[in-house]
Amino acid sequence: MTPKNTPPEMQALIEKYKKAILENTALTSIEQPQKIYSRAYELFRQEALPKPITLYEKLCKAFGKFNIKIPSQETALQESISISHLAIKPSDATSFAIIFPIILMMLGIVASAWFDLLFYVFFSLFGGIALITILIKIPHYIANKWRMAASNQMVLCIFYVVTYMRHTSNLERALEFAAQYLAPPLSLDFKKILWDVEIQRYDTVKESLEFYLETWRKWNNEFVEAFHLIESSLYEASEERRLTILDKSLDVILDGTKEKMLHYVQNLKSPITTLHMLGVILPILGLVILPLVVNFSENIQWWHLATIYNLILPTVVFILGKNILANRPTGYGDTDITKLNPAFKKYQNILLHFGKYEIPINPLIITLSLASASFLIAASPLVIHTLNPEFDLELFSGFSLIGYRESIKIPGVIVGPYGLGASILSIFYPLTFVFGIGLWHKLRTTNVIKIRERTKKLEDEFASALFQLGNRLGDGLPAEIAFPKVADVTKGTASGYFFQLVSQKLALGAGLQDAVNDAVTFFPSNVIRSSMRVLVESIKKGPATAAQALLNISRYIKEIHQVNERLKDLLADIISDMRSQITFLTPVIAGIVIGITSMITFILSALAGNITNLGETGGGTFSDVAQFFGDGIPTYYFQIVVGIYVFQLSFILTIIANGIENGADKLNERYMLGKNTIQSTTTYAILAIVVILLFNTIASNIVGVAGVLGK
């Protein structure tokens, strides 16, 4: 700082030389990124944290004034909060986890007692207690989700740092390079490492990095070891020794990934079997018994089943699945390309082409229209009965469209709909979810996933193409000549198209960096972008340095690809079993069960009606027997519960299967959600219609014969 009493001419001279120093030293390039770090971290934190998490932060702060503390939980909560970048205190989280469920529990108990619903009194009580145990673990759940997403990027992270440090031995620049090309959440972690240095929480980048690595020591020790090797390379005087240590760091995390994934797969069979039995087999097979229980117990209603099957069981399955995913080790995952290049967000719409014009249509318009139409069709029996209680149609063999009738237990009360037509129309309820949620996911991701698959095809070929480009540069050819030559050799491939784009830009007079940046926009891949960035940086030091850098990148990409293929091979059997559960076993079992349920309900209803008629003509004995039968739950409502449960199961199991196979790959998760929920629920709907018609026809013949014999 210049003193206040400095003469004006001296101030001018000082400013002149200060400007010269800034222009001719590396001070500007060092200070300029630091000015960006704090702002970038704050903005990046807001963008990286999903809206539900930011809402959770606001709720915790709102209840934080109660300042409830659980000493035994403080340390663990603080660790999870720090990992998740949550702007709350442990007391905020515990206050919200305790006070909010108590409020809900009291409201639920009062409302249930007011309406004389004893089942929901107990449900509110136990549900509130369960909600406390769930909410108090929310920071741990967010931290586990964060760890899984970050772990999925760790191999790529070490690849970026090692690649950069091979040609420039500067840890801070390497971390900045990794933060630029990694996707959240690991990029946010690296920005915070640099941010902590800027705000002087730590004196050096190395100290800040060491503190960060300690948070991963018990979760991913090979990641910590790899970074320690990278740090040790900074102190090597021998260039050969330095490069060997950098290569060793990548080998450490690759070998550790394979070993941990092998152990994970070995321990995965039992939890998956438990999940399948508790979430699929036992609940659906239990539905076969329920029609008998319901028909002999007037206290059980369809909304009780909905509470169990559409609320409690899906929650249990989801928690079990998340516990399985919490132990998933490091992987090699993909990112959402719309985050790499916002220009690709237009492909989340349906694109209609009219000549030169392209009209985007938001899929939400189509899905909401179809979902609304499906819901109206499903609700039509209720609407028709409300508007005209006397209306009904006979379909065939005595089956009716709507089928409302007088209650067996309570004379004068009309119950239903029991009609075969109503049972079939109710299948449009789960289809409403298919059109509203499943189809929306599919339409939003189909175009984007095609672009990413094209990019992944280029990534598979890119190692060989880089090897050829490195050899050309190693022969002393300038990049302007090397790119066209490699493009000719790889013509007809995805990599050939990429190098051809670069060659065309170079031929038009563009610089290497501009040509590469333009070509990369057509292939949104972090691996390709970072490889080309390294090429641009290293070629400044000469073709030989650039050639060696590309050859090393080529080797790294091949090694990472081999590890990724090995991980897929290890998980192949488990993923295959889960896919069969989602797309075939669950909908088929549920479809058959709903057909059996419809048949049992029809038979018991018909028998109860016949016995009641006999009681009216034959005496009190038959009337007493008729009292053992209840009205039963109409198949219309029963199918709603089962159909929605099938959709929920396919939704949850798809998330779990994608998490096991790909880690935190949101784009593929959304694509598979659309694909699997449509396939699973549609299979269930078709099979349910067929089985209901078949079994009810058989039941009609049985009841008809029984009626004739009774006469």
Domain ranges of the chain: 269-451+562-710, 456-557
CB 545 within 8 A of CB 539: yes
Separation between Cα atoms, residue 276 and residue 479, nearest integer Å: 56
Q: Which CATH number fits domain 456-557: 1.20.81, 3.40.50, 1.10.10, 1.20.120?
A: 1.20.81
Q: Which residues of 135-146 are buried (b: 16+ CB within 10 A; e: fewer)?
A: bbbbbbbbbbbb
Q: How many CB atoms lie within 10 A of CB 114?
A: 8
Per residue in 42-73, pLDDT (tens digit) is 655 565 556 666 788 888 888 888 888 888 88
Separation between Cα atoms, residue 380 and residue 386, nearest integer Å: 10
What 8-state DSSP symbol labels residue 66? G
DSSP string, 372-433: HHHHHHHHHHHHHHHH-TT---B-STT-BSS--EE-SSSTT-EE----HHHHHHTTHHHHHH
Separation between Cα atoms, residue 68 and residue 91, nearest integer Å: 5
What percent of the chain is predicted at pLDDT more than 70? Answer: 84
Q: How many CB atoms lie within 10 A of CB 541?
A: 12
Residue type, 140: H
Separation between Cα atoms, residue 179 and residue 192, nearest integer Å: 10
Residue 73 host element (H or E): helix 71-84
Separation between Cα atoms, residue 629 and residue 645, nearest integer Å: 27
Mean pLDDT estimate for the chain? 79
Residue 357 host element (H or E): strand 357-361
Among 149-158, 323-332, 588-597, the least confident range: 323-332
Residue 295 — very low, low, confident or very high, per pLDDT cuts 50/70/90?
low
| Residues whose CB is less than 8 angstroms from the CB of residue 237 and which lie 6 or more positions away in sequence, other chains included | none
Residue type, 280: V
Among 59-73, 206-220, 594-608, the least confident range: 594-608
What percent of the chain is predicted at pLDDT more than 90? Answer: 14
Paired sense of beta strands 357-361 and 414-415, if any: unpaired
Which residues sit opposite 351 in a β-bridge? 360
| More confidently predicted of 690 and 396 | 690
Nearest to 648 by CA among 291, 318, 423: 318
Highest mean pLDDT pick, 15-19, 178-182, 353-357, 502-506: 502-506
CA distances from 682 to 93, 167, 583 (A): 41, 55, 10
By three-state DSSP, how is residue 351 classified? Answer: strand
Cis, bond preceding 381 (omega within 30 deg of 0): no
Give the per-residue pLDDT at 42. 60
Among 27-36, 121-130, 535-544, 622-631, the least confident range: 27-36
480, exposed or middle or buried, with CB in 10 Å at 0-12, 13-18, 19+?
A: middle
Give the per-residue pLDDT at 32. 35
Paired sense of beta strands 357-361 and 350-354, if any: antiparallel
